[in-house]
Amino acid sequence: MIIEEKDLALARCRALVEKKLNWGSSNDWSAQDFERLSERIAAETGVSLSATTLKRVWGKVKYDSVPTQTTLNALAQFLGYDNWRLFCVSNLTLNGNGNHTAEMATAVTQKVLTLPFWKRRRTWLIGLVLIVAVSAVAVLFFNYFNAPIDVSQVRFSSRRVSEGLPNSVVFEYSVGNLKTDSVTIQQSWDPRRRERISAYKGQHTSIYYYPGYFNAKLLIGDQIMQEHPVFIKTQGWKGIVEQSPLPIYLSNKEIGLTGNTMEIKAETLREKTSKAVFNDVWTHFYLVKDFNLNADNFTFETVLQNTSAKEEAICQKVRIRILTSESAIGLPLCSKGCTSDASLFIGGTNVSGKDRDLSAFGCDFSKVQRLKCTVSNKVFTVFLNGKSIFTAPANENLGKIVGVVIGFEGAGKIESAAFL
């Protein structure tokens, strides 16, 4: 019965994702569609699910194990739920319309009609009891996990133990007299960075390997009790090769850092990663600090180049991100033939190259590219080599600018990067 419920929940989840995307039946999806879905999920939830993982969920790749909880939570969040458990409660047990109960009733009815007449009365009673029992448990389950909690008893704060990277953060917390053993700290926007903690020890530590402006959260059950920023700054520009479970830090000498000029060479990447092909091998250059600039009025410009050969990184992708205290701005560049897979975001607004022409973000990386973006009078504008290529409203409050991140798939160089 448990396996059937999980299968039913996953099928419902897939159907809702397909409905949200409106790309047609998943039976007709290509490998690029799953790459595109991976990017959409990452942009909307902050969780990176590989295209291979998504293919497994949709049954495109043979895989006997069930999806991990991280995968299920990310899919649920993509559909607007806090986590997989609440998705299941809303869509299987109590979805507002009683659909799951109705489905069970239909199944029981069909089974009863196939039985001999003398057994039907007893089967009807069993089916009725089953439906009532499931509905009662569902109501209790839903009410239990949505019971109000006295937030005034909760305390939550943090402090860094040092400057630079990596950086340990000490969290101090208290839940007062609340009777609970389900206390969790989420260190950032990424739900994968959740740790179950004791309700009564009062202290917990975590390591941050990447710089950024993170919103740490204290949760009881699935309710956010308190949250506050954790600001992990860099001491100037920092080059990081991203990999799991631990990143690779690059020295200033290895990136040839001089002012706002730096690069990651192909030979350095080969030495660090033992790879000759750099598809999906990313090096990011971080400058994270308080810029004393508001994101509602700024100009940023960079001159850069992806220096990978196509045999090393077929799409020669580049990412430019401006981190803010409330959200972020993300811009793509890539070779001209790959703009269908490009996507950009401004706060909570996402634009995909699958349903909008982003071909203007395609580049000839045989020469350097000059990219500039501005926000002025609530209008966001992107310029490439002096030509305006994208505009959009900028009505969302993004807060203060707290960082710049420039990433290369494979090798690349930055000749300049600055707010003007």
pLDDT tens digit sequence for 6-20: 778 888 899 999 999
pLDDT of residue 49: 86
**Distance in angstroms (rounded) separating the CA atoms of residues 238 and 251:** 8
From 205, 232, 259, the end of a domain falls on 232
pLDDT > 70 in the chain, percent: 83
Strand pairing of 238-241 and 349-352?
A: unpaired
Q: How far is CA 62 from CA 16, 53, 57, 211, 354, in A?
A: 22, 11, 10, 37, 27
Which CATH number characterizes residue 188's domain?
2.60.40.1930
Is the pLDDT at 46 greater than 80, yes or no?
Answer: no
**Distance in angstroms (rounded) separating the CA atoms of residues 108 and 141:** 23
**Distance in angstroms (rounded) separating the CA atoms of residues 405 and 238:** 10
Residues 54-71, mean pLDDT to the nearest whole number: 82
Verify that 328 and 354 share a domain, yes or no. yes
Query: What tokens appear for 420 in the block?
Result: 């003007």
80: left (phi over 0), alpha (psi -120 to 50) or beta: left
Full residue range of the structural domain in which residue 119 is found? 99-145
Pick the more confident residue, 364 or 220.
Answer: 364
Query: What tokens appear for 311 in the block?
Result: 């045999």
pLDDT of residue 110: 45
Is the pLDDT at 85 greater than 90, yes or no?
Answer: no
Strand partners, 200: none
**Distance in angstroms (rounded) separating the CA atoms of residues 420 and 386:** 15
Residue 97 burial (CB count, 10 A): 8
pLDDT of residue 100: 47
* Strands of 379-384's sheet in order across: 262-264, 412-419, 298-306, 369-376, 379-384, 387-393
- Please count the structural domains in the chain: 4
Q: What radius of gyration do the chain's Cα atoms show?
A: 25
**Distance in angstroms (rounded) separating the CA atoms of residues 338 and 359:** 8
**Distance in angstroms (rounded) separating the CA atoms of residues 229 and 346:** 20
Given a contact cutoff of 8 angstroms between Cβ atoms, the answer to whether 404 and 417 are in contact is yes
Query: What tokens appear for 150 in the block?
Result: 């006295």
From 124, 145, 166, the end of a domain falls on 145
Strand partners, 334: 362
From 232, 247, 268, the end of a domain falls on 232
Helix (H, G, I), strand (E, B) or coil at 270: helix
**Distance in angstroms (rounded) separating the CA atoms of residues 277 and 260:** 27
pLDDT per residue as tens digits for the range 384-409: 999 999 999 998 899 999 999 999 99
Which CATH number characterizes residue 377's domain?
2.60.120.200
Verify that 183 and 113 share a domain, yes or no. no
Verify that 113 and 155 share a domain, yes or no. no
Verify that 17 and 88 share a domain, yes or no. yes
Of 30-44, 95-109, 225-239, 300-314, where does mean pLDDT reach its minimum?
A: 95-109
> Which strand (E) or helix (H) includes residue 325?
none
Mean pLDDT value across the chain: 85
| Angle, in degrees to the nearest 10, between helices 69-78 and 2-21 | 40
Query: What tokens appear for 204 in the block?
Result: 């917990």
pLDDT > 90 in the chain, percent: 56
pLDDT of residue 180: 76
Is the pLDDT at 118 greater than 90, yes or no?
Answer: no
Verify that 279 and 377 share a domain, yes or no. yes
Backbone angles phi, psi at 131, to 5 degrees: -65, -45
Q: How far is CA 11 from CA 41, 190, 366, in A?
A: 18, 25, 46
pLDDT band at 132 (very low <50, low <70, confident <90, very high): low
**Distance in angstroms (rounded) separating the CA atoms of residues 13 and 67:** 12
Is the pLDDT at 359 greater than 50, yes or no?
Answer: yes
pLDDT of residue 227: 92
pLDDT of residue 125: 61
pLDDT band at 113 (very low <50, low <70, confident <90, very high): very low
Q: How far is CA 103 from CA 98, 139, 175, 388, in A?
A: 9, 17, 41, 54
Verify that 407 and 292 share a domain, yes or no. yes
Verify that 141 and 155 share a domain, yes or no. no
Verify that 51 and 160 share a domain, yes or no. no
Verify that 304 and 401 share a domain, yes or no. yes
Verify that 81 and 186 share a domain, yes or no. no
**Distance in angstroms (rounded) separating the CA atoms of residues 152 and 149:** 9
pLDDT per residue as tens digits for the range 244-290: 889 999 999 999 999 999 999 999 999 999 999 999 999 999 999 99
DSSP per-residue letters across 178-236: ---S-EEEE-SS-TTSEEEE-SSS-EEEEEE-S-EEEEEEEEETTEEEEEEEEEE--SS
pLDDT of residue 212: 95
pLDDT of residue 194: 83
Verify that 247 and 389 share a domain, yes or no. yes
Is the pLDDT at 241 greater than 80, yes or no?
Answer: yes
Residue-wise over 151-188: b if at least 16 C-beta within 10 A, else e?
eeebebebeeeeeebebebebebbbeeeeeeebbbbbb
Q: How remote is the C-alpha of 246 from its chain's centroid? A: 18
pLDDT of residue 276: 95
Verify that 193 and 333 share a domain, yes or no. no
